[in-house]
Amino acid sequence: MPVDNKLYNILGVSPNANEKQIIKAYRKLAMKWHPDKNNTKEAEQKFKEISEAYSILSNKEKRENYDNFGMEGMKQGMNMPNPNDIFSMFFNQSRNQRREKEVPQQIKKIDFTLKELYFGCIKEFEINIKKKCVHCNGQGSNFIITCNECNGKGIKVSIRRMGPMIQQIQQPCYACNGQGKYADKSKLCKTCSGDGLISNMKKFKININPGLKDQHYEVLKHMGSETKEGVKSHLIIVVNELKDNDFIRDNNNLIYKKEILLGNSLIGAEWELDFISGEKLHIKETDVIKDGDKKVVLDYGMPIKSTEKKGILIIQYSIKYPDNILDKNNIQLEMKNFNKSKESISVTTYDYSIYEEKSYNNYKREHEREEGVQCAQQ
Residues 298 and 223 grouped into a single domain: no
Residue at which a domain ends, from 23, 56, 90: 90
CB-based contacts of 55: which residues, under 8 Å, 6+ apart?
62, 80, 81, 86
Burial class (CB in 10 A: 0-12, 13-18, 19+), 302: buried
pLDDT at residue 70 in the model: 75
Residue 2: count of CB within 10 angstroms of its CB: 16
Asked if 232 and 110 sit in the same domain, the reply is yes
Residue 304 lies in a domain: yes
Domain shared by 125 and 153, yes or no: no
Residues 357 and 271 in one domain: yes
Whether 57 is in a domain gets the answer yes
Residue 164 included in any domain? yes
Residues 296 and 354 in one domain: yes
pLDDT tens, residue order, the chain (378 aa): 666 788 889 999 988 889 889 888 988 888 888 877 777 878 888 888 888 888 888 888 888 877 877 776 555 444 455 555 555 555 544 344 444 456 888 999 999 999 999 999 999 999 999 999 998 888 888 888 888 888 888 888 777 766 666 677 778 888 787 888 887 878 889 899 888 899 999 999 989 999 999 999 889 999 999 988 889 999 999 999 999 999 999 999 999 999 998 888 888 788 999 999 999 999 999 889 999 999 999 999 999 988 889 999 999 999 988 777 655 544 554 555 667 787 888 888 888 876 665 555 555 555 555 444 333 333
- In angstroms, the CA 351 to CA 44 distance is 60
23 domain residue, yes or no: yes
Q: Exposure of 239 by Cβ count < 10 A (0-12 exposed, 13-18 middle, 19+ buried)?
A: buried
* Cα 34 from Cα 83, distance rounded (Å): 9
Which of 98, 74, 86 lies closest to 4, judged by CA?
74
Q: Residue 66: give its domain's CATH number.
A: 1.10.287.110
Same domain, 75 and 114: no
Q: What is the pLDDT of residue 364?
A: 55
Looking at the structure, tell me whether residues 197 and 75 fall in a common domain.
no
Q: The CATH number of the domain where 207 resides is what? A: 2.60.260.20
Residue 118 CB contacts under 8 Å (≥ 6 apart), including other chains: 210, 211, 276, 277, 302, 303
Same domain? 219 vs 169: no
| Residue-number span of the structural domain to which 171 is assigned | 144-183
Whether residue 294 lies inside any domain: the answer is: yes
Same domain, 111 and 237: yes
Whether 98 is in a domain gets the answer no
Does any domain span residue 40?
A: yes
**Does one domain contain both 208 and 85?**
no
Residue 73 belongs to a domain = yes
Number of compact structural domains in the chain = 4
